[in-house]
Structure 1
């Protein structure tokens, strides 16, 4: 199951995208992707959700009142760097496109109105590319383990972090105890 987060400030666009992604088959070659879609019309709400759930792909509008799509995708990348990032926009602004590529490393820029087949294809290609990158990383880590460059515990911690970001982070108190509430840490320990 591939999890997708869609962000657009226009409710009818969100409804159209959700309907399309539910109905159309998403495949690339022999790979078939079952999609689970979450849609948001607020960048802040979407960023809050990213803190608690892992996504495989982010699809964001470019122009929104709260935050532009590049800023949103930049924050999403910081939290979930392995996720695909696509921008959907009705404005063909070359500077915005360059900023999206240079600052965020987007996988695709899709123009509104979109062609359904092209959008689904872009999503499938991005997800397939992501799977290849993750597999390459896994194989490289196994090679590093065999060569002794990393320990088995470091590899396991890395794998856990990729599945559940922040799970391996421990907040230590000044007295050596584990602090479960980060708000209780001293300012210099945060």
Structure 2
């Protein structure tokens, strides 16, 4: 189950987003999302100190703080969370700031297209899953390399103490030569 954080100063927008995101698809399947709604970016930040979120969707223009400022603060709390901005404004400088400072995954316009919104959320969550899986595999590879290095160091130490102990000499008939 993915946990989504939606932040917009308009409660009606939040209700509409929740309705769209939890709607059943053409096959009758509903997405498995747990959705948290906040009209206050400050309250959303407080919640994010205790609750893990997979994806955050924030309005760009809010009276309390901008979406970029909110996502900047949020990013320090949860750097692996996918960040998306939703806005009715097409402020090019703000969009550039969002991309460069906050590393948003996508910028969605208001009014949104329901299919595009659902597709973007699903794609973002798949992308996040791949990033986290790649990170897990890289960590596992580092651990294996460290273990291999320790084993190689131990073999060198043993070979220095007792030359020939780490090498096996085979006879022509497959026997071990001493």
TM-score (norm 1): 0.73
Count, aligned residues: 143
Provide the C-alpha distance between the structure 1 equivalents of 2:105 and 2:31, rounded to a whole number of angstroms: 17
Among 31, 37, 40, the alignment partner of 1:39 is 37
Q: Which runs of 5+ in 2 are unaligned?
A: 148-178
Among 69, 90, 93, the alignment partner of 2:91 is 93
Provide the C-alpha distance between the structure 2 equivalents of 1:136 and 1:107, rounded to a whole number of angstroms: 18
- The DSSP-based 3-state class of the residue aligned with 1:36 is strand
TM-score (norm 2): 0.78
CA RMSD, 1 decimal: 1.3
Q: Which runs of 4+ in 1 moved over 2 A?
A: none
Provide the C-alpha distance between the structure 2 equivalents of 1:72 and 1:124, rounded to a whole number of angstroms: 23
Aligned to 1:15: 15
**Deviation by residue 1:20-68 (Cα, 9 ceiling, x = unmatched):** 112144xxxxxx9511100000011100000010000000000001110
Are the equivalent residues in 1 in contact too, given 2:7–2:37 (CA < 8 A)?
A: yes
- Is structure 2 residue 103 aligned with structure 1 residue 105? yes
Are the equivalent residues in 1 in contact too, given 2:8–2:62 (CA < 8 A)?
A: yes
Q: Which runs of 5+ in 1 are unaligned?
A: 26-31, 150-190
Aligned to 1:79: 77
Are the equivalent residues in 2 in contact too, given 1:2–1:33 (CA < 8 A)?
A: no
Are the equivalent residues in 1 in contact too, given 2:23–2:31 (CA < 8 A)?
A: no
Provide the C-alpha distance between the structure 2 equivalents of 1:69 and 1:21, rounded to a whole number of angstroms: 20
Among 95, 108, 115, the alignment partner of 2:113 is 115
Among 125, 137, 141, the alignment partner of 2:123 is 125
Provide the C-alpha distance between the structure 1 equivalents of 2:23 and 2:122, rounded to a whole number of angstroms: 14
Provide the C-alpha distance between the structure 1 equivalents of 2:24 and 2:72, rounded to a whole number of angstroms: 28
- The DSSP-based 3-state class of the residue aligned with 1:54 is coil
- Is structure 2 residue 24 aligned with structure 1 residue 3? no
